[in-house]
Structure 1
């Protein structure tokens, strides 16, 4: 098949996922294209045989950019167009019926922060906005029905939102969990050192309200023997810097900024923390688990579908500083538990959350989408 991944953003989980999928498709012999702004994954994709078309649609109102993207999609004459972020989802579904019978697939990577608590387990991550229901409930329902697109959702929790809240036809919604490459994300080789270092926890994500990095910093104050790595960038970076300085955490908390490749940073950690108020099926968690790291994570969205409490790590409630601190402290002080849960985490990924598992599911969705488009 000729498959086109469509992106309108250059950073974030959907971008990483789209690059992984494009590379995996090329590896299985499909003609794999990616249309979107260049990113940290462009070189990797091109090296794997993916044709990257560097086009941008910078905002919803960028009609000229949208028109350029639409013309490129039409010229490619794809069998499948896979829409990988919200703006791409709107653009692709609006123009998709003019693409000569191409099958359309849209991955619902997340829910608007103002509607996040409509997903079981999620907390409300931002104030309600009237336009959220217009865009993300009524609008999503209308554009999906009109375009005849299939909707892929990486977790059962958010699939429930798509069916119960957006009111999509359940026969057009496919649950396909995200996956990671277990060869790229793998436990580091065992090393011996004469100078033991303090246990290290890694937090990886966008520094935005929904990710609740403030809870991690509050918990770190209660676990004085723990070193903290924060990898990510975003609107809250200045606030996080001030918080680290004001709390006297400069000696124990390292702000690494956005990392192009998380694998080397994961290799520096002993455990992983996820503090979000809302999630779907977070790639960062899967990457950490594939690297053999146990996690302390909030039990939101699809997280409990992936990480089982007491098996691959520990779960806590959103905003529960004491619970997060207790989990971090317990794992920091127990190397045997870290090793046991880390091995279980790696096995969990190998059993159902590899990139191959994800691609198998996507190919089934692609086949259904092509049938619907005929």
Structure 2
């Protein structure tokens, strides 16, 4: 049965955006009528090239009457069989519209606000949870999830546990479907040995939860290790200050946001994430698909992806010494990097592809439809 699926985004970059694009492309490849709506940007262009029908839609923070009217008009034009909502604002707007139109809807809970990060098993607390935060994000989500013909999908078991225990969602409303990387990541060849020296890549949005200044300080303690930071965000100034303070400006490259980071990942020898909280990071999956071993913190859903000592090395969040030791271990041993990188790529091919993700989500679509 062919489905017309409309995915809604209200942000233009980050892991949920990469996931939505890969999913939209995979649905199209599987023969479904795949639509993706969101703010303009290269993500829409990439989806359109692969046969996805794209729509420009801007829904701003707060009460955005214009954005709501545009979203309602889009539903009337597309007439989807199902709505898939890929970020928190889309989940709020989309489920209200789905209820109004009598449409089934699936909301992917990709993560939680910093104030609630510590409620997810394995994550560190980032900020005190105020009463209004609990009201807005826990009670609010519980009420939205009660919308008829809806389901909440999480990309890892850690977030599913949060949805059940903290939000209070019934197990029948929660499904765990890990993210997956698109075919382009798997089809391209993995490069062989490169130039002398070792480079660690970091990929993401520079937010406090990512702990990039701490990563900069740790990397500076590893001799001859270069650090390539692919991304931008509100923490950029703090990152630059950390580089200056660590005296490692000659070994750190701040590359800014890149809509297609594949070239930069394949120019690196390993990926490193020092986050205080994560779910199922697309950057992690993309690096592993590229044949890179990883050093990552043991938070959220990361241990569900990375097998410590096989695909990479896991460290405790907040421990700079453990992070330094893991970076030194991998940077000093090319054979270990090659072995772990090959295992990481096999891991993604076996368990974390966009095709596998799309087929699991299609089963969820059928349940709520």
Q: Structure 1 length as normaliser, TM-score?
A: 0.95
Give me the whole-angstrom Cα distance separating, in 1, the residues matched to 2:183 and 2:73: 37
1:246 shift after superposition = 2.5
> Which stretch has the larger CA shift, 162-171 or 235-244?
235-244
Give me the whole-angstrom Cα distance separating, in 2, the residues matched to 1:351 and 1:335: 24
Q: Cα RMSD (Å) of the superposition?
A: 1.3
Give me the whole-angstrom Cα distance separating, in 1, the residues matched to 2:268 and 2:335: 15
Instruction: Judge conservation of contact 1:7–1:83 (CA < 8 Å) in 2.
Output: yes
Report the equivalent of 1:21.
Answer: 23
Instruction: Judge conservation of contact 2:105–2:149 (CA < 8 Å) in 1.
Output: yes
Report the equivalent of 1:339.
Answer: 338
Report the equivalent of 1:143.
Answer: 144
Q: Secondary structure at the match of 2:145?
A: helix
Query: For residues 329-373 of structure 1, what are the alpha-carbon distances to aligned partners after superposition, in whole Å with 9 as ceiling and x for unaligned?
Result: 000001111111111100100111011111111111111110xxx
1:128 shift after superposition = 2.3
1:95 shift after superposition = 1.7
1:143 shift after superposition = 1.2
Report the equivalent of 2:281.
Answer: 282
Instruction: Judge conservation of contact 2:104–2:148 (CA < 8 Å) in 1.
Output: no
Query: For residues 188-231 of structure 1, what are the alpha-carbon distances to aligned partners after superposition, in whole Å with 9 as ceiling and x for unaligned?
Result: 33256xxx421110011111100001221121121022111011
Report the equivalent of 1:181.
Answer: 182
Report the equivalent of 1:357.
Answer: 356
Q: CA 1:128 to 1:187, structure 2 compared with 1: closer, same or farther past 3 Å?
A: farther
Report the equivalent of 2:81.
Answer: 79
Report the equivalent of 2:211.
Answer: 212
Query: For residues 132-189 of structure 1, what are the alpha-carbon distances to aligned partners after superposition, in whole Å with 9 as ceiling and x for unaligned?
Result: 1011100000111034410110000100000111011111111000000254255533
> Which stretch has the larger CA shift, 240-249 or 86-95?
240-249
Q: Secondary structure at the match of 1:314?
A: strand
Give me the whole-angstrom Cα distance separating, in 2, the residues matched to 1:127 and 1:206: 22
Report the equivalent of 1:129.
Answer: 130
Instruction: Judge conservation of contact 2:85–2:106 (CA < 8 Å) in 1.
Output: yes
Query: For residues 5-26 of structure 1, what are the alpha-carbon distances to aligned partners after superposition, in whole Å with 9 as ceiling and x for unaligned?
Result: 0111111111111111111111
Give me the whole-angstrom Cα distance separating, in 2, the residues matched to 1:94 and 1:147: 11
Give me the whole-angstrom Cα distance separating, in 2, the residues matched to 1:126 and 1:343: 38
Give me the whole-angstrom Cα distance separating, in 2, the residues matched to 1:230 and 1:129: 33
Give me the whole-angstrom Cα distance separating, in 2, the residues matched to 1:187 and 1:175: 30
Give me the whole-angstrom Cα distance separating, in 1, the residues matched to 2:182 and 2:64: 35
Q: Secondary structure at the match of 1:165?
A: helix
Gaps of 5+ in 1: none
1:93-132 to 2 correspondences below 5 Å: 93-99=95-101, 101-132=102-133
Q: Secondary structure at the match of 2:46?
A: helix
> Which stretch has the larger CA shift, 136-145 or 121-130?
121-130
Report the equivalent of 1:318.
Answer: 317
Q: Secondary structure at the match of 1:318?
A: coil
Give me the whole-angstrom Cα distance separating, in 1, the residues matched to 2:193 and 2:336: 19
Count of aligned positions = 366
Q: Structure 2 length as normaliser, TM-score?
A: 0.96
Report the equivalent of 2:306.
Answer: 307
Give me the whole-angstrom Cα distance separating, in 1, the residues matched to 2:10 and 2:238: 28
Instruction: Judge conservation of contact 1:60–1:87 (CA < 8 Å) in 2.
Output: no
> Which stretch has the larger CA shift, 241-250 or 199-208?
241-250
Instruction: Judge conservation of contact 2:291–2:342 (CA < 8 Å) in 1.
Output: yes
